[in-house]
């Protein structure tokens, strides 16, 4: 490949005449219309002439100078950064010599806002952090509130089963988006369409059970907002079979695809030592061979009673993280089936018995499609004046939580999701802080990308699976 004759000059030309302007040129008419700076050295500064030649030779010459680096901003608005993530890349040709992640472009102030809302209202904030894993944020937050209240052992069994069911469906939902968007970024649009087709099945279940497809605020302190509607278990049983076929289709598309292996094998490598040093968890950590999963090591919501395996690989690269997510979805389906079986035989309430804490959980909808129905309102108002007053204060003012602080963590789709709550004895959190896995995992960008090609940066970031809603909270 050849290039046109080009002149690069390493000197300050701000005070010199502009080329091509006749009024500024010397008196010699033969110079008019020519490239003034191509005439040669006039003040002793070096002049670099680049002539036609093979492109590889030109790159080698430019690289050998070691005087220049290109700094590229990838994002914050870029189709492959999984949100408003800014990647500052320093390049030597197409090799990344330095990579830094810039965050903060999606700051929502969720944690600060929670200090000005009641404990129950806090659910509607934290569910919006990582918008692909809302049930995990809700569950972790509510488990922390319940621990502060000292009612962990009073949560009804049916409510805990429903929580596990919804969290595992959410795990599949998150992994499908990760695999689908990651495939699209590498040019595999079929992976995207199949992934979102299967995700749609899960969102319909969420809508049937909670009324919303995302940001549901379904899990509440003390239980869940309402029981499963009629027909929900049959619907879930149907989609489990459909999801299993759809995930297997993704596995067939990806697992032994030579193009995918070429783009992901050995890309974004981060070994166990690096993961431990950077506090990285989730599929990225398990791709190093360490079977760390809070559902097994520190069980919650009765996870110790479910039969499932912790998936690990040893390649510590983008390919193994992809395969872990695919196999984890099959394990989640096993848990969902166990939840459905238990819910068919387990009755009872879905909210804690203590009426000073229990948010109204037996909601109903009137003929106009609005809740609550008039029958439900008559029941509340007809019980007693004290019950009505207490109900009003519970909803408007909220319950009080004893002073103290607590940390509770769950195994989110992306890793350890922790909640640190501090109570001063009031009806609102004194402080609510979340350890979002995407925030910690993004620290690995430099370790994964430096020394690799620009195209591999996209694959490495996709294998981390960050969601900026959880990072910029």
DSSP secondary structure, 77-124, as one string: S-TTSSSS-EEEEEEETTEEEEEEEE--TT---HHHHHTTS-TTTHHH
* pLDDT at residue 195, as a whole number: 93
Q: What is the tens place of the pLDDT at every residue in 90-101?
A: 888 888 888 888
Count CB-CB contacts under 10 A for residue 454. 15
Alpha carbons 238 and 293: distance in angstroms, whole number: 28
Averaged over 28-54, what is the pLDDT? Answer: 55
H runs (alpha helix) in 255-298: 258-264, 272-277, 283-286, 294-297
* pLDDT at residue 20, as a whole number: 42
Q: Which domains does the chain have, with CATH numbers?
A: 1-63 (no CATH), 110-349+399-471 (1.10.645.10)
Residue 198 has pLDDT above 50, yes or no: yes
Averaged over 123-147, what is the pLDDT? Answer: 93
Residue 355 has pLDDT above 90, yes or no: no
Residue 1 has pLDDT above 70, yes or no: no
Residue 374 has pLDDT above 70, yes or no: no
* pLDDT at residue 49, as a whole number: 61
Residue 42 has pLDDT above 60, yes or no: no
Average pLDDT, the chain: 83
Strand partners, 386: none
> Are the CB atoms for 146 and 221 separated by under 8 Å?
yes
Averaged over 3-24, what is the pLDDT? Answer: 43
Averaged over 228-232, what is the pLDDT? Answer: 90
Instruction: Give the distance from CA 472 to its chain's centroid.
Output: 11
227-236, 277-286, 358-367: the lowest-pLDDT one: 358-367
Query: How far apart, in Å, are the Cα atoms of 2 and each of 32, 56, 62, 444?
Result: 28, 10, 15, 39
141-145, 157-161, 194-198, 355-359: the lowest-pLDDT one: 355-359
Residue 56 has phi, psi (to 5 degrees) of -60, -40
190-199, 210-219, 371-380: the lowest-pLDDT one: 371-380
Percent of the chain with pLDDT over 70: 80
Averaged over 394-421, what is the pLDDT? Answer: 92
**Between 259 and 44, the higher pLDDT residue:** 259
Count CB-CB contacts under 10 A for residue 338. 18
| pLDDT band per the 50, 70, 90 thresholds, residue 87 | confident
Residue 363 has pLDDT above 70, yes or no: no
Burial bucket for residue 368 (CB in 10 Å: 0-12, 13-18, 19+): exposed
Residue 236 has pLDDT above 80, yes or no: yes
Residue 22 has pLDDT above 50, yes or no: no
* pLDDT at residue 193, as a whole number: 93
- The helix-helix angle for 232-254 and 189-210 (nearest 10°) equals 170
Residue 372 has pLDDT above 70, yes or no: no
* pLDDT at residue 369, as a whole number: 60
Q: What is the tens place of the pLDDT at every residue in 157-181?
A: 999 999 999 999 999 999 999 999 9
Which DSSP symbol is given to 128?
T
Averaged over 72-91, what is the pLDDT? Answer: 79
Averaged over 393-414, what is the pLDDT? Answer: 91
């Amino acid at each position: 490949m050849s290039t046109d004759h080009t002149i690069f000059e390493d000197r300050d030309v701000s005070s010199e005449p502009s080329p091509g302007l006749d009024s500024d040129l010397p008196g010699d008419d033969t110079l008019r219309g020519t490239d003034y700076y191509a005439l040669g050295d006039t003040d002793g500064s070096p002049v670099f002439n680049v002539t036609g030649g093979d492109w590889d030779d030109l790159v080698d010459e430019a690289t050998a100078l070691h005087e220049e680096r290109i700094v590229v901003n990838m994002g914050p608005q870029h189709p492959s950064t999984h949100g408003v993530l800014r990647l500052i890349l320093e390049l030597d040709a197409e090799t990344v010599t330095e990579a830094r992640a810039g965050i903060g472009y999606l700051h929502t102030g969720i944690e600060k806002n929670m200090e000005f809302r009641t404990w129950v209202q806090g659910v509607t904030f934290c569910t919006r952090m990582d918008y692909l894993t809302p049930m995990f944020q809700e569950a972790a937050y509510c488990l922390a509130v319940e621990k502060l209240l000292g009612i962990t052992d009073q949560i009804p069994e049916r409510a805990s089963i429903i929580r596990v069911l919804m969290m595992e469906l959410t795990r599949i939902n998150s992994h499908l988006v990760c695999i689908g968007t990651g495939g699209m970024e590498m040019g595999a649009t079929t992976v995207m369409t199949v992934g979102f087709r299967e995700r749609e099945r899960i969102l319909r279940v969420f809508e049937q059970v909670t009324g919303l497809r995302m940001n549901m605020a379904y899990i509440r302190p003390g239980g869940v907002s309402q029981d499963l509607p009629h027909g929900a278990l049959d619907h879930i049983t149907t989609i489990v079979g459909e999801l299993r076929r759809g995930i297997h289709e993704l596995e067939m598309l990806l697992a032994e695809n030579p193009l995918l292996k070429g783009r992901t094998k050995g890309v974004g490598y981060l070994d166990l030592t690096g993961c431990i040093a950077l506090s990285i968890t989730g599929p990225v950590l398990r791709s190093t061979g360490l079977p760390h999963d809070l559902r097994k090591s520190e069980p919650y919501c009765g996870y110790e009673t479910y039969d499932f395996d912790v998936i690990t690989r040893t390649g510590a690269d983008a390919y193994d993280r992809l395969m872990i997510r695919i196999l984890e979805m099959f394990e989640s389906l096993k848990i969902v089936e166990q939840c459905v079986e238990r819910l068919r035989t387990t009755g009872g309430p879905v909210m804690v018995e203590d009426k000073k804490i229990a948010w109204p959980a037996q909601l109903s909808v009137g003929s106009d499609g609005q809740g609550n129905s008039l029958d439900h309102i008559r029941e509340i108002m007809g019980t007693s004046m004290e019950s009505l007053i207490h109900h009003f204060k519970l909803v408007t003012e909220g319950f009080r939580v004893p002073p103290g602080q607590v940390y509770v963590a769950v195994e989110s789709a992306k890793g350890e999701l922790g909640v640190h709550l501090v109570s001063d004895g009031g009806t609102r959190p004194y402080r609510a802080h979340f350890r979002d896995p995407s925030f910690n995992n993004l620290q690995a960008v430099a370790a994964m990308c430096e020394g690799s090609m620009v195209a591999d940066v996209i694959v490495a970031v996709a294998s981390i699976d960050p969601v900026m809603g959880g990072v910029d909270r």
